[in-house]
Amino acid sequence: MIQPIKVLIVDDSAFMRRALATMIQSDPEIQVIGTARDGVEGVEKVAQLKPDIVTLDIEMPRMNGLEALKIIMEKMPLPVLMVSSLTEEGAKATLDAFDLGAVDFIPKNLQDLSLNIVKIKDVIIEKIKTVARKRPAFKQIKPPSEISKKIVTPVSIPKSFGAQLTRKASIVAIGTSTGGPKALQEVLPHLPSDFPVGGVIVQHMPPAFIGPFAQRLNQLSRVEIKEAEANDIIKPGLFLIAPGGRHMQVTRKKATEVGVEFSAEPSDSLHRPSVDQTMLSVARVFPGSCIGVILTGMGHDGLEGIRAIKAANGRTIAEDESSCVVYGMPRAIVENGLADKITPLSQIAGEIINMV
């Protein structure tokens, strides 16, 4: 018999503790083994109960979620899902939590909780199961304030197929989900300031999170990174991150100018923005000269986009299972035989540089 996944809930709201416990325990494979009302109690119960995974609120009395997370990751590291408000302040705190080792977050939106309880329950259960079973390797990442653009360690550029590659790329498209914020922080800062092409990025995140996330990546990187806007043009050294809540597509504006546009359609897409929608447009506009990269994430968003890039004679990279927080999106690429390179996260920047 498979042992249930043991969950500890840390939240100062009695309502949220009950709501999360009810949703989580509706699945027979998950067991809530305890709750805590603040960070102090949460740290104590992690040591006592030894859960498989923790849900951790950010704003709590005595000791907040970030302070508790730092202690947990230093003394008894395990998977932690932050419970985050969908605000700019919540976004910044959640990004700080990613830097400290949290693997993902659960949106804390009481209105959605009452209106879309079934959908939210399914998402939480899927995240708990996927992350707890993967048991990713945990390490603390230095906060952005401690990282300088000037001291980014150069990556080694693989030579495995460089001499054979006759076509050059005109754009890089990157798609990711769970684990993506940390993964992108380990790829983009290694690209040089004179990177010869532009790029587009789709990271599954709520709308309020994208702007602060883009700003943080830009601070860390030598290429320019920004949240995409309606009049943005694809140009060398600029990476555009799709805004939350809308699909981003690459479109040719003039003979020599390519930009981005946004749409709510298809409205039935599981994710908005969708990696597939962006990569399908990249394949159409840049046949034979595009690179598609799939990093860690749940599900299979990006599969059809990568398939289109391959069909258009582009190049493709999938993150290797060994470095993925969740080996879902890359697995779909690999199992369908669509990956030109299957590469650990630490080598992906080098592969991208080699391909352009």
Q: Which of 96, 301, 320, 340 is catalytic?
A: 301
Contact assessment for residue 45 and residue 89, using Cβ atoms and an 8 Å cutoff: no
Over the range 150-159, which residues count as b (16 or more CB within 10 Å of their CB) and which as e? eebeebeeee
The number of beta carbons lying within 10 Å of the beta carbon of residue 247 is: 25
Residues 6+ positions from 128 with CB-CB distance below 8 Å: 5, 7, 24, 30, 53, 81
Q: Which of 84, 85, 170, 177 is catalytic?
A: 177
Instruction: Give the rounded distance of the alpha carbon of 193 from its chain centre.
Output: 23
| Alpha-carbon dihedral sign for residues 132, 202, 85, 269 | negative
Burial of 77 (0-12, 13-18, 19+ CB in 10 A): middle
Catalytic status, residue 301: yes
Nearest to 186 by CA among 354, 348, 351, 352: 348
* HSE of 336, CA atoms in CB hemisphere, 13 A: 19
Contact assessment for residue 330 and residue 174, using Cβ atoms and an 8 Å cutoff: no
Q: Which of 190, 204, 247, 271 is catalytic?
A: 204
Nearest to 210 by CA among 235, 186, 240: 240
Token pair 């003394």 is found at 75
Task: Give dist(CA 66, CA 173) in Å, integer.
Answer: 32
DSSP of 7-21: EEEE-S-HHHHHHHH
Task: Give dist(CA 61, CA 42) in Å, integer.
Answer: 12
Cross-strand partners of 294: 175, 318
DSSP of 251-317: EEEETTEEEEEEE--STT-SSSS-HHHHHHHHHHHSTTSEEEEE-SBSS-TTHHHHHHHHHTT-EEE
Task: Give dist(CA 268, CA 270) in Å, integer.
Answer: 6
Catalytic residues: 177, 204, 301
